[in-house]
Structure 1
Amino acid sequence: MPSDATSRPADAASSGDEAAGGAVACLRFEPPADPEALGRAWQDHLAPVFAVSFRPETDLTVPIAMRSYNLGDLLVGDVIAPAHTLVRTEAMIHQQGIDHILLQFYRRGRSVVETDSRAGPVTEVQCIVFDLAQPVRIVAEAVDATNVVIPRALLEQQGCHPDALHGRPLDHDGDPFGRLVHNFVANVVACGDLLDRREALSAAAAITQLCASWLRGQEQGRPTEHQDVRIRLRRLIEAELGNPKLTPALIAGRLGLSRSTLYRLFAPNGIVAYIRDRRLMAAMRMLVRDDAPRPLRIAQVAYAVGFSDERTFRRAFKRRFGFIPSDAPHRADTEPDRASAAVLRNWIESL
């Protein structure tokens, strides 16, 4: 289906819309007023995922647009992009530590995708699978595509291990189930501005199940063990957030790391600050979800994310977000940092 990424005016240049009345938060890219700043603005917008460079034939006068909807458990959106080269390096992977899968359904355009194990073309009506824990280089023509960003853990819960699919194009038009997956995601994006949070969570669950089922049928080989130590650290921390005894010593012992290595990997803020921030982000997700059978008590949330007492949790929550936990359902979509790259990076990390 054709993209309508340019059919709705952006409320603010390169910013996250403040969702009112429980609406889904949307981040839109809008070209800056100064045409000379367009290329830099586009590079900055994509910086949380890819390093972008332009080629001599790149035409920056063509329409450029991107929107991303935060459905709570995953991100969906679409993009109209000029010809450019996208790179995700080992250094970026190590620095960011994100462990997500990006599915990009092409509707128009072509590219050549290069990974450590393969290189080949991607054409219209194909979907490309990107494991963001592995390096990749994409030399792309002008494209129009639908995007999905899913945490790997959600796919693994569905029995899907898409590691070996990294960089591989899949036919989403000739394959009836692939066409169903793409159409469903594209339709969710098309009505993203009309969804409330409950509908968004339901849509996210359906997209996860559809993508996992489709990718399971495409898998080749056995799942790979990710060697990047920061990703393994993050996964252990996420799994143990509810453990009040989660300490640097416990983590170092589990992964066989020295304390100095552990602290170096989380410099300059430190691993203790990182654990607390992840606990607070998990608490925020619990507080803003409206699909629970009954509202959660603040003490329940505090203990569930590893705080030993409610008072400490309340103070830490207010320092992190600027409001108290009981106000979270009404304030969760207020984004203090209006820079688009910071918003997108925060969304990806908080999934």
Structure 2
Amino acid sequence: MSSEERNRDPDVAPAGGDAPGGEVACLRFEPPGDPEALGRAWQDHLAPIFDVSFRPETDLTIPIAMRSYHLGDLLVGDVVAPAHTLVRTREMIGQQGLDHILLQFYRRGQSRVETDHGTGPVNEVQCIVFDLAQPVRIVAGAVDATNVVIPRALLEKQGCHPDALHGRPLDHDGDPFGRLVHNFVANVVACGDLLDRREALAASTAITQLCASWLRGQEEGRPSQNQDVRIRVRRLVEAELGNPKLTPALVAARLGLSRSTLYRLFAPNGIVAYIRDRRLMAAMRMLVRDDASKPLRISQVAFAVGFSDERTFRRAFKRRFGFIPSDASQRLDAHPDPAPGAVLRNWIESL
């Protein structure tokens, strides 16, 4: 079955909907009924990662499809897209604070990738590494590709620092281990509708280990010494989520920032709201995982993510997700914001 056919499969869970029976949640690009609105809909779908523009030769009549599976720790999927230009700017990086690596395994198509370190082509059967904390411009022809989005922290735990690989094409067909990595990921995507969440978490662990081993073998990247300050704040917050004394003052002191700078970075909602949201997203991850030997108590989860009492946690969780913590195992992709791209954005931020 082609990736276009798989993306149109009516049995795939609809975008933003619940996966039935504890299956893995699947998000699909849903083309609008009005052909004139197709381009805008595609731009909105990719907005959490890239600004998208079209070129004179872009043919929007060809099939456009994208499917993403949330495996718990990372996202996998595939995409069939027309010719377009993708841009990730420093402004986007600063606003979003994403600290993730995107691997795109081309099956068909070519592109030109421009980074601060140079410009180069990406050809069929190559994999391109994108560090979402670094700017990039991609001038792409029509492509068919397999995607993986992995939090940088998971790769670093495996001793992999992919910063230096940003924008670099890697041969995933001629290299036997690269071919193994791509085949495994593509097969997980192909059977994504059949996986339960326990199987998805196992697949997620295997994909992380395979990708980290492969990337380590390509080049020993060096951790960036000039990370965007918002990403440095996010890393500190993630490391201290279980600390009930995590406050803006603590973050500012640890990173040598002024309080005004910290608040400006997280405007308009503020750093306090950001910390609480990260605590709640961490709680959601704990609640939807079913690989524990026995279910976690709600109080355990509340204390683990830095809340001082269960009642406050329950109220905050209900406001954030629209349902109580005990119902979380039935929901993975719930998000009150129905705007285009909201679910994909929520998924990436949840990793």
Amino acid at match of 1:232: R
- Asked if 2 retains the 8 angstrom alpha-carbon contact of 1:177 and 1:214, the reply is yes
Distance 1:294 1:20, change over 3 A: same
Alpha-carbon RMSD: 1.5
Distance 1:25 1:338, change over 3 A: farther
Distance 1:12 1:290, change over 3 A: closer
Tell me how far 1:9 sits from its aligned partner.
Answer: 3.4
Tell me how far 1:214 sits from its aligned partner.
Answer: 0.3
Amino acid at match of 2:254: R
Residue-by-residue CA offset, 1:218-259 (whole Å, 9 max, x unaligned): 124522224310000000000000000101111000000001
Q: Percent of aligned pairs with the same residue?
A: 84
Tell me how far 1:7 sits from its aligned partner.
Answer: 4.5
Corresponding residue SS for 1:276: helix
Distance 1:247 1:336, change over 3 A: closer
Which position in structure 1 is the counterpart of 2:310?
310
Which position in structure 1 is the counterpart of 2:10?
9
Residue-by-residue CA offset, 1:266-314 (whole Å, 9 max, x unaligned): 1111111110111011011101100011111111111100011111111
- Of 218-227 and 102-111, the range deviating more from structure 2: 218-227
Moved segments of 4+, more than 6 Å: 10-13
- Asked if 2 retains the 8 angstrom alpha-carbon contact of 1:133 and 1:226, the reply is no
Q: Does 1:219 align with 2:219?
A: yes
Corresponding residue SS for 1:225: coil
Tell me how far 1:93 sits from its aligned partner.
Answer: 0.3
Q: Distance in 2 between matches of 1:300 and 1:20?
A: 27
Which position in structure 2 is the counterpart of 1:188?
188
Q: Distance in 1 between matches of 2:11 and 2:140?
A: 25
Amino acid at match of 1:120: G
Which position in structure 2 is the counterpart of 1:247?
247
Which position in structure 2 is the counterpart of 1:297?
297
Tell me how far 1:11 sits from its aligned partner.
Answer: 6.8
Which position in structure 2 is the counterpart of 1:286?
286
Which position in structure 2 is the counterpart of 1:64?
64
- Asked if 2 retains the 8 angstrom alpha-carbon contact of 1:171 and 1:178, the reply is yes
Q: Distance in 2 between matches of 1:225 and 1:184?
A: 33
- What is the total number of aligned residue pairs between the two structures? 350
- Asked if 1 retains the 8 angstrom alpha-carbon contact of 2:25 and 2:332, the reply is no
- Asked if 2 retains the 8 angstrom alpha-carbon contact of 1:317 and 1:325, the reply is yes
- Asked if 1 retains the 8 angstrom alpha-carbon contact of 2:112 and 2:121, the reply is yes
- Of 85-94 and 313-322, the range deviating more from structure 2: 313-322
Give me the TM-score of the superposition, normalised by structure 2.
0.96
Q: Does 1:205 align with 2:205?
A: yes
Q: Distance in 1 between matches of 2:78 and 2:177?
A: 20
Give me the TM-score of the superposition, normalised by structure 1.
0.96
Distance 1:226 1:192, change over 3 A: farther
Which position in structure 1 is the counterpart of 2:149?
149
Amino acid at match of 1:34: D
Q: Distance in 2 between matches of 1:66 and 1:178?
A: 23
Which position in structure 2 is the counterpart of 1:39?
39
Corresponding residue SS for 1:193: helix
Q: Distance in 2 between matches of 1:284 and 1:12?
A: 20
Corresponding residue SS for 2:267: coil
Corresponding residue SS for 1:44: helix
- Asked if 2 retains the 8 angstrom alpha-carbon contact of 1:27 and 1:340, the reply is no
Structure 1 unmatched runs, 5+: none
- Asked if 2 retains the 8 angstrom alpha-carbon contact of 1:72 and 1:285, the reply is yes
- Asked if 2 retains the 8 angstrom alpha-carbon contact of 1:107 and 1:125, the reply is yes
Amino acid at match of 1:8: D
Residue-by-residue CA offset, 1:73-113 (whole Å, 9 max, x unaligned): 00000000000000000000000000000000000000000
- Of 217-226 and 315-324, the range deviating more from structure 2: 217-226
Corresponding residue SS for 1:217: helix
Tell me how far 1:335 sits from its aligned partner.
Answer: 4.5
Q: Distance in 1 between matches of 2:89 and 2:145?
A: 22
- Asked if 2 retains the 8 angstrom alpha-carbon contact of 1:29 and 1:340, the reply is no
- Asked if 2 retains the 8 angstrom alpha-carbon contact of 1:5 and 1:65, the reply is no
Corresponding residue SS for 2:218: coil
Q: Distance in 1 between matches of 2:58 and 2:164?
A: 32
